[in-house]
Amino acid sequence: MARPNEEVEALLQEYADLVAITGGDAFKARAYEKAARAIGGHPADVSQLDAKGLRDIPNVGKSIADKVVEYLSTGRVTAVEEARAAIPAGVRELITIPTLGPKKAMTLYEELHVSSVEELLDAIHGERLRDLKGFGEKTEANILHGIALMQKAGSGRILLGAATDVAEQIVADLSGVEGCEGCTYAGSLRRMRETIGDIDVLVAADRSAPFMEAFAALPYAAEIIAHGQKKTSLRTTKGLQVDLRVLPPDSWGAGLLYFTGSKAHNIRIREMAIRHGYKLSEYGLFHAKSGKKAVSETEEDIYAKLDLPWIPPTLREDRGEIAAGLKGELPELIEEGDVRGDLHTHTDLTDGVSRLEEMVAAAAERDYAYFAITDHAPNLYMQRMTDEKILAQRERVRALDGKHRRMHVLHGTELNIGPEGDLDWPDDFLAGFDLCVASVHSHFHQTREELTRRLVRACENPHVSIIGHPTTRQIGKRPPIDADFDEVFAACARTGTALEINSHPERLDLGDEDILRAKRYGVKFAVNTDAHSVTHLPYMRYGVGTAQRGWLTKDDVINTWPLQRLRRFLRPPRRSS
Ligand code: DGT
Ligand code: CA
Ligand code: CA
Ligand code: ZN
């Protein structure tokens, strides 16, 4: 049920990998990769386009457009099938190991005849990789880590973004069934955890059968795992499990509270209920002695009987929310509507796929008061940035300032933090930007001291105001770098440098626990999308959810501030010691 654009993106990316692994033309592989990203980030639904419409998408030429048309009309592409057939399935599996690219996978196959993950593990344990050119002990360690991550990712948890798309579709479909008095999703998804085990959907209705039937008949239901009066579980065509429970409308609040969890939060609440002389279940809050129902209709009613305010689902992890609630000290959490602008975005001047004008127009549609363009700087040499190009972009940014719904457009850049903590441009050139984000993009395996020093040096540059995707993790793909983040957080607080909460569902970086820790140092945060396309701007909601899980308020997050206050924060020189 992924959007057709994403399906096509995955297909073309696979084809690019297959071309690369068979030692095909590197230019061709790169062309397919670029087209994959362009289609993935294209705002219009590609399944509605003909070959000509497809060719209007940047980086999509005739032969790629033809393959897409073939896929959309037949569900398969001959060239891709042939490339798949030419390579053993096990080798294709090797490419999917994070940290192992097509080139290394091909070497392993050709030199060692390794064609499965098991054979690869044997080869590593037999120390047979060490004789290969380009492989060493460090490569082995990286591959082992990649396999572990892949197996963990294969444990069935899926990313928050993908789960939200599916859940919202299901809620929309079931809300239309007659007799529906309420429908929402609960569980870890309502708590906005970064990965979701299964989706828990709740319906309030007097009769459950029509909902159970409608649910089982959904077009994307691939397998019915259990079918009953109270609960039906199914697996979607994408392999995701969804549980549907139908509750009587008068026990909606109790059911919603119970199935939202977390389990640890529920246990605490139930203990409190007992101390107050009640018994709490998914059907309601009952007087322990008489067994009579006290309340059950809303979550607020139940919390109130326990002397608690309503606790936002993103806080329900038994991390002190109940004690804070009893003392009237729950944080007033940041909400998506509080965000006044996005401070980390890219355009097609570097690796984005949307044009500057499109990004600015789409941001203004979101009612932002300000918006920053932060394309990559020269040290990510793949992006071929130059002084001339970025200065020419600045002119275009200035021309767009205030032109869409009076939105202010800021001109920034995303600097690359080099191995020594060095940045792309000298200070006098950096001074010309409205803001600089600085991020690590390579050399992830330096020592802890080196990585820490690198980040701290970046914070100490007076022109750097935000550290982008601070741990560089990609969920299920790349582990966080091993820096001493307590030292980094202290440096951020000391130098007035904000930490990013990158909202991309594959990153969510910083994550909730690091946010909680950083906040104790008095650090400020910026919730950004790092959008590479107009279609990524809505990822903001996932960053805000993550910020909520880190107990952040508006005051903690610089891009909820009015522009004047934000500018004071961004303006150098900030203290460096
Ligand atoms: P997930 O699906 O692994 O991402 O995590 P959840 O939190 O969605 O867990 P799930 O789907 O197993 O159950 C949904 C909610 O139901 C859970 O958050 C709390 C509640 N729940 C499930 N099992 C228990 C239990 O044994 N005791 C209590 N108190 N609550 C439970
Ligand atoms: Ca769940
Ligand atoms: Ca469940
Ligand atoms: Zn970046």
pTM comes to: 0.84
Q: Per the structure block, which two tokens stand in for 505?
A: 């569902």
* pLDDT at residue 22, as a whole number: 75
Cβ atoms of residues 407 and 365 within 8 Å: no
| pLDDT value, residue 194 | 97
pLDDT of residue 577: 42
**Exposure string for 111-147, b = 16+ CB within 10 A, e = fewer:** ebebbebebbeebbeeebbeeeeebeeebbebbbbbb
pLDDT of 435: 97
Amino acid at 375: D
Report whether residue 200 contacts ligand 1, using a CB cutoff of 6 Å: yes
Cα–Cα separations (whole angstroms), residue 253 to 52, 272, 297:
52, 17, 5
Query: What pLDDT score does 425 carry?
Result: 96
Residue with CA closest to ligand 1 atom 10: 187
Q: How far is the CA of 242 from the centre of ligand 3 (A)?
A: 7
Residue numbers of the chain with a pLDDT score lower than 50 = 1, 575-577
Ligand 1 atom with the smallest distance to the CA of 270 is 29
Of 407, 459, 461, 464, residue with least CA distance to 433: 464
Long-range residue pairs from 181-189, CB within 8 A, at least 24 positions apart, any chain: 181/205, 181/206, 181/249, 181/252, 182/249, 182/252, 184/256, 186/256, 186/259, 186/260, 186/261, 187/259, 187/260, 187/261, 188/261, 188/262, 189/160, 189/163, 189/164
Q: List the residue whose alpha carbon is closest to atom 25 of ligand 1.
A: 263
Q: What is the DSSP letter of 416?
A: E
pLDDT at 270: 97
Q: How far is the CA of 8 from the centre of ligand 4 (A)?
A: 24
With the most atoms of ligand 1 within 8 angstroms of its CB, the residue from 157, 189, 200 to mutate is 200
Write the DSSP symbol of residue 572.
Answer: S
pLDDT of residue 576: 45
Mutate to test the pocket of ligand 1, among 263, 270, 299 (most ligand atoms within 8 A of CB): 263
State the closest ligand 1 atom to the C-alpha of 261, by its place in the atom list counted from 1: 18
Beta strands at 199-204 and 241-247: parallel, antiparallel or unpaired: parallel
Q: From the CB of residue 292, how many other CB atoms can be counted at a distance below 10 Å?
A: 8
Ligand nearest to the CA of 374: 4
Calculate the alpha carbon distances from 234 to 80, 116, 529 in Å: 31, 31, 32
What confidence score (pLDDT) does residue 111 get?
87
For ligand 1, atom 26: residue with the closest CA: 263
Cα dihedral 444/33/468/410 (nearest 10): 150
Res 1: pLDDT: 46
**pLDDT tens for residues 21-47?**
777 788 898 899 999 999 998 988 999
Beta strand ranges found along 42-190 (DSSP E) = 158-159, 182-185
Q: For residues 317 and 68, what is the distance between their CA atoms, to the nearest angstrom?
A: 44
CB 426 within 8 A of CB 387: no
Ligand 1 atom 5: residue of nearest CA: 188
**What pLDDT does 100 receive?**
81
Ligand 1 and 211: CB distance under 6 A: no
Q: Is 196 in the pocket of ligand 1 (CB under 6 A)?
A: yes
Measured from the CB, is residue 267 less than 6 Å from ligand 1? yes
98 in helix, strand or coil? coil
Q: Does the CB atom of residue 197 touch ligand 1 within 6 A?
A: yes
